[in-house]
């Protein structure tokens, strides 16, 4: 056995054991593969002689599935151990259990590793109960939550390691100062094109959120760069680890703002040894749900663009997603109970359901069904009766015919028509009367129609989703939360930042969320910002009038403010000031107000940088709403697509004269994207 107290020696020992385990697994994988091939061969040679009832065939298939899934598990394990062979651990806690004299030593890494399955780990997963000590305590009395209860004792010492390619780069006995230095080094490094995992340096306040399993709905209001997205993803990894029996990655859904953002965060869970999870934007979800009602829907970005270009034109989006509007819809829904109906007798091959009987079934027996699904229930009731009287089952086409007859008792079942009528009766302009192909919903109408759909038609519950993550919570309206509450009855992690609202005024969803989700909500505020240098964060805070943010002590260049006559002058300056290259930054962005301005800037930069010999093909990209990823190099985009992302160097280019509240928000969002260097440019023309 090795000296566990000596990090370097222990590293050598663990690496050796890892190598052995990897070899063992490789061998067992080869065996497993042979086994599978053997089963296939056996099947093809013998299938004609298998028992006629298929029992043997069934048994063979089951054995095959078991072997395949065992192989898959081994493969995943091997991948994890391979990753661990690069850096088996990053931390260590020496813990003296209450009543003991000598400390027990725990090394902490990206996953558990034991010499053999079921043995005591040589390295503990960062999510293991005992690893909580590493994040929550310095030297001194400490405790952690274990399955059998709270364990007390004392942290005798804590260590930090950096290991790369199996080589020890550094080891420190950690204290607050060193911890800060290590975090500073992590934050000071250049940006990747994807969000980094933070397991080496999770902060105490972040750890409390990650390891929280008791609250059903957690709502996190976190300042820009406070680590909300990182924390939410680590929380998912933590929950998956601790509730393997009930929670699978397929049970989790992230509502994220767009495709680029999805890509930006997509590798974290696989890196932490978990499978990737489903992500979707709410707009895409809505669009899919409404496909049988309209052929197209605007998305949120259309709405933002319109607001910027025509600020004087009042948008109804806010009004149509307000509580008052929901109340109007609810009142209309009550009226529809009568107005939507045109009852009369229904006859099928001599069997008659009288109008009065239908009314009775409709308003009493099936009153709990949503209005537009209720007649289906009445039709099924009638089908049952006919089948009983005839003493035979009806064929599917006969049943369809009957249902059709009952559906005719609705004046209309078309949500588009119903909603349009509602608008007109409440003093709004109705929707254009066009054929399905030409029906395109404006953004302001998308969610009201979706709401009506949920209120009027039975929906299949999304019971397979057991945890919903809502990122950028400030960008969802009251109405959208009402809909979410109807679709998902599961646990939720909802996170965002009211200061980054993409609207004229900041939206604080914390005010109304308890009214929608009840008292189960646990609110947490994260006020410490990690992303930006002090110079950048202070500058951005001034833009948004924020005073209560705590800043991580990391300094950089002052923010540069400049005014240019036009876009091409700004582009020239960007090309001059850009610091991309070896020994310099990895990522930079030019962030603009609208799609049109962004495209214009991109074309200008293409020309200017092209002339300078910059590799524009590989290192300059234009990010629009259909993009699904961004590359290292220079990215040109709008503020609303840059949201959630970060870049080493940021140029924010905005029209000087646009001082509208929405564009003030846009400037703030752009400024907070910068990790190390920020240039705020204003353009006169």
Ligand X SMILES: Nc1ncnc2c1ncn2[C@@H]1O[C@H](COP(=O)(O)OP(=O)(O)OP(=O)(O)O)[C@@H](O)[C@H]1O
Task: Determine whether the annotation assigns residue 533 to a binding site.
Answer: no
Residue whose CB is less far from ligand X, 143 or 230 = 230
Min dist. Cβ of residue 651 to ligand X (A): 18
Positive or negative CA dihedral for 612, 616, 619, 621? positive
Query: Which of 196-204, 304-312, 405-413, 535-543 is the region at the interface with ligand X (rule: CB under 6 A)?
Result: 196-204
Min dist. Cβ of residue 509 to ligand X (A): 14
Task: Determine whether the annotation assigns residue 204 to a binding site.
Answer: no
Min dist. Cβ of residue 119 to ligand X (A): 31
Residue 333, both tokens: 């829904």
- Structural element, H or E, at residue 280: strand 278-280
Binds ligand X (CB under 6 A): choice among 202, 237, 574, 616: 202
**Residues in region 462-501 near ligand X by CB under 6 A:** 497
Query: Which of 144-152, 226-234, 280-288, 574-582 is the region at the interface with ligand X (rule: CB under 6 A)?
Result: 226-234
Min dist. Cβ of residue 202 to ligand X (A): 5
Q: Is position 303 an interface residue for ligand X (rule: CB under 6 A)?
A: no
Q: Is position 262 an interface residue for ligand X (rule: CB under 6 A)?
A: no
Min dist. Cβ of residue 460 to ligand X (A): 32
Query: Which of 72-80, 201-209, 387-395, 436-444 is the region at the interface with ligand X (rule: CB under 6 A)?
Result: 201-209
Q: Is position 255 an interface residue for ligand X (rule: CB under 6 A)?
A: no
Query: Which of 46-54, 199-207, 242-250, 658-666 is the region at the interface with ligand X (rule: CB under 6 A)?
Result: 199-207
φ and ψ of 471, to 5 deg: -95, 155
Q: Is position 230 an interface residue for ligand X (rule: CB under 6 A)?
A: yes
Residue 519's CB is within 10 A of a number of other CB atoms, namely 8
For residues 121 and 114, the answer to whether their CB atoms sit within 8 Å is yes
**Residues in region 644-663 near ligand X by CB under 6 A:** 644, 646
Q: Is position 225 an interface residue for ligand X (rule: CB under 6 A)?
A: yes
Q: Is position 198 an interface residue for ligand X (rule: CB under 6 A)?
A: yes
Q: How many CA atoms lie within 13 A of 208 on its CB side?
A: 9
Query: Which of 155-163, 223-231, 294-302, 676-684 is the region at the interface with ligand X (rule: CB under 6 A)?
Result: 223-231
Q: Is position 257 an interface residue for ligand X (rule: CB under 6 A)?
A: no
Strands (E), 560-629: 560-564, 587-592, 620-622
Q: Is position 91 an interface residue for ligand X (rule: CB under 6 A)?
A: no
Positive or negative CA dihedral for 459, 462, 467, 470? negative
**Residues in region 309-338 near ligand X by CB under 6 A:** none
Distance of CA 682 to the CA centre of its chain: 33
Task: Determine whether the annotation assigns residue 670 to a binding site.
Answer: no
Q: Is position 588 an interface residue for ligand X (rule: CB under 6 A)?
A: no
Distance of CA 644 to the CA centre of its chain: 11
Residue 656: which of 568, 549, 594, 565 has the closest Cα?
Answer: 565
Task: Determine whether the annotation assigns residue 188 to a binding site.
Answer: no
For residues 394 and 383, the answer to whether their CB atoms sit within 8 Å is yes
DSSP annotation of 196 reads P
Give the C-alpha distances (Å, rounded to integers) separating 535 from 379, 543, 667, 675, 677: 68, 13, 16, 10, 9
Query: Which of 97-105, 191-199, 477-485, 653-661 is the region at the interface with ligand X (rule: CB under 6 A)?
Result: 191-199
Burial class (CB in 10 A: 0-12, 13-18, 19+), 205: middle
> For 548-561, what is the HEC assignment?
CCEECCCCCCCCEE
- The Cα 233–Cα 254 span in angstroms is 10
**Residues in region 617-646 near ligand X by CB under 6 A:** 644, 646
Place of tokens 């940006």: 191
Residue whose CB is less far from ligand X, 451 or 552 = 552
Residue count, binding to ligand X (CB under 6 A): 24
3-class SS of residue 511: helix
Residue whose CB is less far from ligand X, 2 or 194 = 194
Task: Determine whether the annotation assigns residue 610 to a binding site.
Answer: no
**Which residues are within 8 A (CB) of 476 and not within 5 positions of it... i.e. 6 or more apart?**
282, 470, 484, 509
Residue 305, both tokens: 């663009």
Q: Is position 206 an interface residue for ligand X (rule: CB under 6 A)?
A: yes
Min dist. Cβ of residue 290 to ligand X (A): 29
Strands 674-683 and 647-655: parallel
Residue whose CB is less far from ligand X, 180 or 398 = 180
Interacting residues with ligand X (CB under 6 A): 183, 186-187, 195-196, 198, 201-203, 206, 222, 224-230, 497, 530-531, 644, 646, 672
Binding-site residues for ATP sit at 222-229
């Amino acid at each position: 056995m090795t000296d566990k107290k000596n990090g370097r020696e222990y590293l050598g020992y663990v690496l050796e054991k890892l190598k052995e385990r990897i070899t063992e697994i490789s061998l067992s994988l080869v065996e497993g593969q042979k086994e599978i091939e053997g089963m296939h061969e056996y099947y093809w040679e013998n299938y004609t002689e298998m028992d006629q009832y298929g029992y043997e065939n069934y048994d063979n298939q089951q054995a095959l599935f078991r072997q395949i899934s065992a192989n898959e598990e081994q493969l995943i394990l091997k991948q994890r151990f391979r990753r661990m062979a690069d850096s088996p651990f990053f931390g260590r806690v020496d813990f003296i259990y209450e009543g003991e004299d000598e400390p027990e030593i725990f090394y902490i890494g990206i996953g558990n590793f034991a010499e053999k399955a079921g043995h005591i780990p040589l390295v503990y997963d960062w999510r293991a109960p005992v690893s909580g000590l590493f994040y929550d305590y310095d030297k001194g009395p400490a405790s952690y939550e274990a399955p059998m209860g709270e364990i007390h004792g004392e942290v005798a010492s804590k260590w930090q390691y950096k290991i790369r390619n199996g080589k020890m780069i550094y080891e420190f006995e950690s204290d607050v100062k060193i911890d800060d230095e290590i975090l500073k080094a992590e934050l000071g490094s250049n940006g990747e094109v994807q969000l980094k995992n933070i397991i080496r340096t999770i902060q105490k306040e972040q750890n409390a959120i990650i390891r929280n399993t008791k609250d059903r709905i957690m709502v996190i209001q976190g300042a820009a760069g406070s680590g909300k997205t990182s924390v939410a993803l680590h929380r998912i990894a933590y929950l998956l680890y601790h509730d393997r029996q009930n929670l699978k990655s397929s049970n989790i859904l992230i509502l994220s703002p767009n495709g680029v953002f999805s890509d930006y965060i997509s590798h974290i869970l696989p890196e932490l040894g978990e499978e990737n999870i489903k992500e979707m934007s709410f707009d895409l979800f809505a669009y899919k749900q409404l496909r049988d009602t309209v052929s197209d829907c605007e998305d949120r970005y259309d709405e933002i663009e319109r607001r910027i270009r025509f600020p004087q034109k009042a948008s109804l989006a806010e009004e149509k997603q307000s509580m008052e509007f929901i109340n109007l819809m609810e009142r209309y829904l009550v009226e529809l109970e009568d107005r939507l109906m045109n009852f009369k007798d229904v006859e099928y091959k001599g069997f008659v359901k009288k109008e009065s009987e239908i009314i009775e079934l409709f308003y009493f027996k099936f009153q709990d069904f949503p209005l537009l699904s209720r007649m289906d229930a009445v039709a099924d009731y009638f089908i049952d009766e006919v089948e009983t009287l005839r003493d035979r089952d009806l064929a599917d086409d006969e049943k369809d015919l009957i249902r059709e007859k009952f559906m005719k008792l609705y004046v209309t079942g078309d949500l588009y028509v119903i909603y349009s009528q509602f608008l007109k009766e409440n003093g709004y302009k109705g929707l254009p009367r066009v054929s399905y192909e030409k029906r395109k919903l404006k953004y302001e109408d998308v969610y009201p129609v979706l709401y009506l759909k949920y209120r009027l038609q039975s929906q299949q519950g999304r019971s397979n989703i057991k945890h919903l993550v809502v990122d950028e919570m400030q960008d969802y309206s009251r109405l959208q939360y009402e809909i979410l509450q109807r679709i998902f009855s599961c646990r939720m992690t909802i996170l965002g930042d009211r200061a980054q609202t993409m609207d004229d005024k900041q939206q604080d969803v914390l005010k109304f969320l308890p009214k929608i989700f009840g008292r189960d909500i646990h609110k947490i505020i994260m006020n410490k910002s990690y992303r930006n240098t002090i110079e950048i964060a202070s500058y951005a805070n001034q833009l948004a009038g924020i005073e209560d943010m705590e800043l991580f002590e990391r300094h950089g260049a002052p923010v540069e403010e400049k005014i240019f006559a036009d876009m091409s002058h700004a582009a020239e300056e960007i090309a001059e000031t850009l610091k991309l290259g070896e020994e310099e930054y990895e990522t930079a962005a030019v962030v603009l107000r609208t799609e049109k301005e962004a495209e214009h800037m991109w074309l200008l930069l293409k020309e200017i940088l092209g002339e300078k010999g910059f590799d524009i093909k590989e290192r300059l990209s234009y990010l629009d709403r259909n993009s699904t990823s961004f590359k290292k190099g220079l990215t040109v985009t709008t503020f609303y697509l840059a949201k959630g992302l970060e870049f080493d160097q940021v140029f924010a280019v905005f029209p000087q004269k646009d001082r509208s509240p929405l564009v003030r928000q846009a400037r703030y969002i752009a400024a907070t994207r910068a990790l190390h260097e920020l240039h705020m440019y204003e353009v006169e023309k």
